[in-house]
Structure 1
């Protein structure tokens, strides 16, 4: 009888140790594609972030305009995550003089800007704002196909602003039909 008791206790311990692990937050993002899949996602301070909700406008837009000195690309996404008026976040990326695929820096540049707005905390981080004291990051265009009307890429940035702590955006990806 003692032997059966020990086997039962050991089985309970082993089965409880086989519980599911926390899912990888990256697995909760849309895949990084280059097909015009109309996807956008990133991790914000380690948590999955995708466009969500609707305030009367699209929660994910991409525009590309051609100028003589290169293209102007703007990517804007927002999410409404609650029912309160301040339950709103937005993320935007902007770059100009774009001629094709490649990597653009958000650090001390006039040509590329990253911005994150956290309405509830009344904090806005901008890579070209003098109150944002730390800024690092990049935007990589992996596909810019005007004939097919597809723009895709990846992004990541970290910014710090006194009174707002820091914002760390990683694993960013977008794929959009123009």
Structure 2
């Protein structure tokens, strides 16, 4: 028994040390997003159902495209992104009009353009991988906050969050969204 005591102590010590290595602290998914800036940094990020989403990959076009057209519907802002990861392709876009200055714009407003769209392919065959806020959506809410709207230096920045519910599908929750781009 006495001869085995050092062996038992060594085993206890090893098991305690291995617990430390296998006990990672939970990481904040928002830490993977770009910071919210207002410099025209050409960044975009959000959490889609709690998972980080940033533009990634290349299909021959830019994975982040932000356009402002002052002559369309009193000022239309379009944000288009995609993320390619292996066979999975995700697309997220926001269109809002009229946008003429900084402020809060609602996805629930009845007038103008106020859409948020999300696609995830390949997805489930029941149609829940394509959600367009202006088609077949039972519920939508959220806001786009334009925090910098500088037409002289051609910079637009802001934050956003929204929820979309399509009948027969889980609610799509987009939170902690931010973008900063040169137009």
Q: TM-score, normalised by structure 1?
A: 0.86
Displaced runs of 4 or more, over 6 A:
none
- Return the match for 1:80 from 62, 78, 84: 84
Q: Is the 8 A contact 1:101 1:142 kept in 2?
A: yes
- Return the match for 1:13 from 3, 11, 16: 16
Between the aligned partners of 1:14 and 1:158, the Cα distance in structure 2 is: 44
1:110-147 deviation line (CA, Å, top 9, x unaligned): 33211111232243222222x11011111110001111
Between the aligned partners of 2:14 and 2:90, the Cα distance in structure 1 is: 47
Between the aligned partners of 2:118 and 2:7, the Cα distance in structure 1 is: 59
Alignment of 1:101-140 (within 5 A): 101-111=102-112, 112-121=114-123, 122=127, 123-129=129-135, 131-140=136-145
Aligned residue number for residue 154 of structure 2: 149
- Larger Rg computed on CA atoms: 2
Any gaps of 5 or more consecutive residues in structure 2? none
Between the aligned partners of 2:73 and 2:61, the Cα distance in structure 1 is: 30
Q: Is the 8 A contact 1:108 1:128 kept in 2?
A: no
1:47-82 deviation line (CA, Å, top 9, x unaligned): 000111111111110001113863211000011122
Q: TM-score, normalised by structure 2?
A: 0.84
RMSD: 2.3
How far did residue 33 of structure 1 move?
0.7
Q: How many residues are treated as equivalent by the alignment?
A: 174
Between the aligned partners of 1:170 and 1:42, the Cα distance in structure 2 is: 6
